[in-house]
Structure 1
Amino acid sequence: MGDNLIRVVSFNLKRDFGIALNRSHKWGQRRALAAQFIRESGATIVGVQELLPNMRDDVSRLLDVDYSVLGFGRFSGAKPHSDEHSDIIIKNENASVRLIKTFWLSKSPERLSRAYFAVFPRICTVAEVYLTKLNRSIRVFNTHLDHICGIARTLGIRVILDYMRSFNEERPMPTILMGDFNAKPTSRPVRLLRGCSEEYPQLHLTDVYTRFPAHVNNTLHNFSGRVRPGAQPIDYIFVSDEFEIVEAHIITDPVDGHYPSDHYPLEATLMLKS
């Protein structure tokens, strides 16, 4: 990959439900596959969702010193790594992190809280990432929206957009938003992002699916490996105008014949404009 390009991935790793999963789908059978995929993807930045503390420990150990796994759990407080994380993984050879922050997708985003109608507290992790080869800094948001309530998902996106605006007013920076939105492209949260400049004039985000609209399919496959042409994704990467989308793909290939998750990873290769 050229020095002026960066690869980013959004990947829901499927939380470890223990006895509730088919034995071959348990995390213990998948952790090495997940780490192998992250390494082989060549991505500088990977946003992961449904990362439980034990899974986080495994990913950190398997990726070793080559990567940093950054973020806090959604029940953070006295125990900063409690329950699910939406962490940002950085390839240390290519990048370093200047800031890492987790906030809640609610009306009280600076403290442990949940949106009205949301089943669980939902979080977003934001990192300011310095790209070594480019000598540029970018801002990355990674989230996992509520799986039940559309109102909670829309509120979550509004909270994220408010933070984007606030950060950019203080220090403008090229921005990436990625994650499992639990929402189809026609849903209100996704439409809000695609048209965010109407309510947030200083923000303009482009969905990487615009790079390959004829080949968009499901990103959730429930370990089946099925691809349903015309089916709608629920995982997304959005980028600000400072980026050119060079390539984008839903990665449907297994790793050594097995799937590391019930989601397909979404990968984008980006070029930072001068």
Structure 2
Amino acid sequence: MTRVDVPPGASLSMNLDTSPSPPPTSDRPATMPLRVVSYNIRYATRNPVIGERPWNVRRPRLTTQLSFITAGHESSFLCLQECLYEQIQDVQTDLGESWANIGRGRGDGPRDGEFSPIFYRRETWRCERHETRWLSKTPDRPSRGWDAVLNRIVTMGEFSHVKTGTRVVVMSTHFDHIGVKAREHSAELLIKFGKEWSSEGDGSPVSVVLIGGDFNSSPQDMAYKTMTAPDSGMADISDLVPESRHYGNHVTYTSFGEAREVPSRIDFLFIQEPRTAQVNTFGVLANSFDDQIRVSDHRPVVADLDIVI
């Protein structure tokens, strides 16, 4: 496998080719570029582990990184995980008023517990509807599923492009880190929800369904295999770009260097099949720079697509 090496502090933004597609022909429909990012930003704990810096130190580095990743990509979606309500406010403040977000906490109240929010630019996208569901047997109310040790959620939004009316569905999720059965059944729920949301709404066709998240599952685990099974209607976006063109890292979870933690690939972007979108780039970016401060214990996962208008 050939991979592009990333020097310390390197990132992915302007150097990717996200130029518009050629003018449509009778055989080639018009398209528009879209960037999607999945990033577990690590919750703002009051008891940092060894090697972890507090949120007030990580915050400016993380939000500057998000701004850089999305600069020049007006159609970007940010699927974040492990955000407390205060962090949602901080990210919103630092990104600025041009951004909006959807989502709620996984606890009993809308601000309780961790969020898996979706951020988008309000001048580019209009949120037509959104919902948070729990990954359990009772997805319509706060609940814990199967052998999970915590409530787990998925945030879902249907968006229409302000200029073209193009509709997309975006989902952000965070699977349980302990429950093996819970992760597998959560994958089944995501597939089900994706199919529902791609066929519901006002009747207008959905151009693409995208899912970003921390799945706490490696490609060898049943949850991942469920997501990518031939009958799932989903595909791992990284599989749609030749490995020789993957940018950056392979590992998405680095930890903060704790002795018992094993770096692994557990964060993914998925796209619903059959698709009309063209996936152009895929990369796993850096989460530490020259100062050696890890912005998070996860790395951002990024892909660029051309979606049919």
Q: SS at the partner of 2:107?
A: coil
Which residue of the partner structure matches residue 103 of structure 2? 71
Alignment partner, residue 8 of structure 1? 36
Q: Hey, what does 1:208 align to over in structure 2?
A: 237
SS of aligned partner of 1:19: coil
Deviation at 1:148, TM superposition (A): 0.7
Q: CA deviation at 1:116?
A: 1.7
CA apart distance, 1:242? 2.5
Which of 251, 260, 265 matches 2:300? 265
* Larger CA deviation: 96-105 vs 19-28: 19-28
In structure 2, the partner of 1:94 is: 124
Per-residue Cα deviation, 1:100-158 (whole angstroms, up to 9, x for no partner): 11000001100111112100110000001122354301001110000011110011111
**Which stretch shows the higher mean deviation, 67-76 or 162-171?**
162-171
User: Deviation of residue 56 (structure 1)?
Assistant: 1.2
Given that residues 249 and 266 in structure 1 are in contact (C-alpha distance below 8 angstroms), is that contact kept between their aligned partners in structure 2?
yes
Aligned counterparts of 1:134 and 1:10: Cα–Cα separation in 2: 25
* Structure with a larger share of its residues in helix: 1
Q: Which of residues 61, 65, 68 is equivalent to 1:33?
A: 61
d(CA) in 2 for partners of 1:24, 1:263: 12
In structure 1, distance between residues paired with 2:62 and 2:285: 13
TM-score, normalisation: structure 1:
0.88
Partner of 2:161: 131
Q: Return the offset for 1:212.
A: 4.2
Residue 178 (str. 1) matches residue 208 (str. 2):
no
SS of equivalent residue, structure 2 residue 97: helix
CA drift of 1:253 comes to 5.8
Q: 1:252 is matched by which residue type in structure 2? A: A
* Structure 1 pair 162–74 and aligned structure 2 pair: CA distance change class (3 A): same
Deviates more, 1:171-180 or 1:149-158: 171-180
Shift of 1:256: 6.6
How many pairs were matched up? Answer: 261
**1: distance between equivalents of 2:105 and 2:264?**
29
When the two chains are superposed, the root-mean-square deviation of aligned CA atoms in Å is 2.1
- Matched residue, 1:219: 252
Letter aligned with residue 129 of structure 2: L
Q: Matched residues in 2 for 1:208 and 1:169: separation?
A: 21
Shift of 1:259: 3.0
- Relative to structure 1, the CA distance from residue 253 to residue 148 in structure 2 (aligned partners, 3 Å threshold; closer, same or farther) is closer
Range that drifts further, 94-103 or 17-26:
17-26
SS at match of 2:39: strand
Deviations 1:148-178 (A, max 9, x none): 1111001111111222222233345220011
Counterpart pick for 1:111 among 111, 119, 141? 141
- Please identify the structure whose Cα radius of gyration is greater: 2
Alignment gaps of 5+ in structure 1: 225-230
Q: Counterpart of 1:34 in structure 2: which amino acid?
A: L
Residue identity matched to 2:227: L
> What's the CA shift string for 1:74-100, capped at 9, x where partnerless?
014xx3111100000112232221111
How far apart, CA to CA, are the structure 2 residues paired with 1:176 and 1:151? 23
TM-score, structure 2 normalization: 0.78
- Please say which of residues 184-193 and 125-134 is displaced more in the overlay: 125-134
Task: Determine whether 1:45 maps to 2:80.
Answer: no
Residue equivalent to 1:245: 279
Q: Shift of the alpha carbon at 1:232?
A: 4.6
> What is the one-letter code of the residue matched to 2:217?
A
